[in-house]
Amino acid sequence: MPIKVAVVGGAGRVGSNAAFALQCGGVVREIALVDVAHDVAQGEALDLLHGSSIAADQRIVAAELGQVADADVVCITAGSRRKPDESRLDLINRNVSIFKGILDGLRDGGLSRDAILFVVSNPVDVLTRLALEHLDWNPQRVIGLGTVLDTARFRSMIADAKGLPPTQVKALILGEHGDTMSPIWSSATAAGISLNELLTPTEQQAIFERTKGSGAEVIRRKGGAGYAVGLSILEVIHSIALDRRQVLPVSTRMDGPYGLRQVCLSIPTVVGRAGVLGYHEVALWPKEQAGLKRSEQALEQTYAQLG
Ligand SMILES: NC(=O)c1ccc[n+]([C@@H]2O[C@H](COP(=O)([O-])OP(=O)(O)OC[C@H]3O[C@@H](n4cnc5c(N)ncnc54)[C@H](O)[C@@H]3O)[C@@H](O)[C@H]2O)c1
């Protein structure tokens, strides 16, 4: 059945780019843009609506938080940027308080317990865990974007560096969407050929460093990520909408795979209409496993520090 997606933060850069990607994708039935900047959300919705006669038969509206109780997926991209002189933890705590307000608004508006909460706002792994604990939501129905964007960037950068077709590069980034993310070279391939044959360790290191610094580079050059994060959001929502059961590095609650517990972080996860359907605990090199443990520790530490 076609689904309705509410984008909370829909007037912002990430939210509006996600909405445009979903319009071009033409799969979901309805896109509702929710934002405290309601006027801007109405403008974005109107602009998208104008293209609907070319793109797809979808309903596109601006809405209040209390009007999306029937959404099948609530994609939360609302956030706040760092102020001058503000510490990372202060920013996290400010975003946490915005985020809790949104969660309370969704609950008070009567959001269906069948809805899938799809968290994009940063720190995404921390907020994904907060969403499921604050609302006591079914962990199967809470998904964070995790390292989906990092993985997309990584594949595209590998292809760009070696002149390979980007869609034939298969390589993952797992763990935290942040400093402790790990590149997974053990299973990385291009058109079925191991990337350990195609790339030297020095080339691998350089590509990973460029990928890791890419978010900051985009912020420095154009203010923030937009198109690629919009497409990353589309990939996850289409896997849900079409029950494609794609294996994606989304952030979800760990309950034992790779010995990980409690935190939300990214491992290969099966995503379908019911949300998280399972994991693929693929074999990793010891240093890749150690990377996941480092992410677990870092995320546990941040979570414990929340105000
Ligand atoms: N997970 C990822 O891979 C990834 C990638 C890029 C950006 N992000 C995160 O996405 C978030 C949004 O980034 P952006 O560049 O779109 O920022 P932005 O400032 O352009 O947009 C944020 C939007 O949130 C809205 N907002 C703030 N408080 C709100 C509330 N209480 N209810 C509804 N809307 C509210 C603002 O009005 C604004 O329109 C940030 O947290 C950013 O770090 C995550």
Task: Please report the pLDDT score of residue 147 as a whole number.
Answer: 98
Domain spans in the chain, listed from the N-terminal domain onward:
4-144, 148-304
- Smallest CA-to-CA distance from 196 within 182, 184, 178 is with 184
CATH 3.30.70.270 fits 148-304, yes or no: no
Phi, then psi, of 255 in degrees rounded to 5:
-130, 30
pLDDT value, residue 89: 72
Residues 6+ apart with CB under 8 A from 97: none
Q: How far is the CA of 186 from the centre of ligand 1 (A)?
A: 34
CB atoms within 10 A of CB 163: 6
What's the gap in Å between 81 CA and the centre of ligand 1?
Answer: 8
Please tell me whether residue 300 adopts helix, strand or coil conformation: helix
- What phi, psi does 177 have (nearest 5°)? -80, 85
Atom of ligand 1 minimally distant from the CA of 122: 41
233-253 pLDDT, tens digit each: 999 999 999 999 999 999 999
Q: Which mutation among 92, 120, 145, 237 tests ligand 1's pocket best, with the greatest number of atoms within 8 A of CB?
A: 120
pLDDT of residue 91: 80
- For residue 29, the SS3 value is coil
Q: Distance (Å, rounded) from C-alpha 19 to C-alpha 120?
A: 13
The best mutation among 33, 34, 35 to test binding of ligand 1, ranked by most ligand atoms within 8 Å of the C-beta, falls on 35
Q: Tell me the average pLDDT across 59-70.
A: 97
pLDDT in tens, 165-193: 999 999 999 999 999 999 999 999 999 99
Alpha-carbon distance of 300 to 294, in angstroms, equals 10
Ligand 1 neighbours, Cβ below 6 Å, are 8-9, 11-15, 34-37, 77-79, 81, 98, 101-102, 120-122, 124, 145, 149, 177, 224-225, 229
pLDDT band for position 203 (50/70/90)?
Answer: very high
* For range 58-78, the mean pLDDT: 97
Cα–ligand 1 centroid distance for 214 (angstroms): 18
What is the pLDDT confidence band of residue 86, given thresholds at 50, 70 and 90? confident
Determine the pLDDT at residue 90: 80
Distance from residue 10's CA to the centre of ligand 1 (Å) = 8
- Please give the average per-residue pLDDT across 20-33, as a whole number: 98
Q: Which atom of ligand 1 is nearest to the CA of 34?
A: 33
Single-letter amino acid code for the residue at 105: G
Ligand 1: centre distance to CA 42 (Å): 17
Q: What pLDDT digit, counting tens, does each position of 277-304 carry?
A: 999 999 999 999 999 999 999 999 999 9
Ligand 1 atom 3 nearest Cα: 149
Q: Which atom of ligand 1 is nearest to the CA of 145?
A: 1
Among 50-54, 134-138, 223-227, which is the least confidently predicted range? 223-227
Closest CA to 252 of 243, 241, 242, 240: 240
Contact 114, 141 (CB under 8 A): yes
Closest alpha carbon to 7 in 91, 84, 76, 63? 76
CA distances from 24 to 58, 76, 197, 200 (A): 10, 20, 37, 38
pLDDT of residue 82: 67
Residue of 304, 222, 231 lying closest to 262 (CA atoms): 304
- Omega within 30 of 0 (cis) for the link into 123: yes
Residue 50 among the catalytic residues: no
As to burial, measured by CB atoms within 10 angstroms (0-12 exposed, 13-18 middle, 19+ buried), residue 135 is: middle
pLDDT of residue 278: 97
Residue nearest to atom 1 of ligand 1 (CA): 120
DSSP codes, 247-279: EE--EEEEESGGG-EEEEEE--EEEETTEEEEE
Question: With contact defined as beta carbons under 8 Å apart, do 56 and 26 qualify?
Answer: yes
Please compute the mean of the pLDDT values over residues 87-115 and round it to a whole number: 92
Q: What backbone phi and psi angles, to 5 degrees, belong to 195?
A: -75, -10
> Between residues 30 and 88, which one has the greater pLDDT?
30
What is the rounded CA–CA span in Å between residue 60 and residue 67?
A: 14
Among residues 38, 134, 177, 280, the one annotated as catalytic is 177
Would you say domain 4-144 falls under CATH 3.40.50.720? yes
What is the rounded average pLDDT for all residues in the chain?
A: 96
Expressed in angstroms and rounded, the spacing between residue 14 Cα and the centre of ligand 1 is 6
Site of tokens 């941040």: 302
d(CA 18, CA 130): 23
- pLDDT-derived band at 258 (thresholds 50, 70, 90) equals very high
Pocket test for ligand 1, best of 7, 75, 77, 91 (most atoms within 8 A of CB): 77
Cα gap 250→267, rounded to integer Å: 7
pLDDT band at 84 (very low <50, low <70, confident <90, very high): low
C-alpha distances out from residue 157 to 64, 120, 176, 236, 284, Å: 39, 22, 19, 21, 22
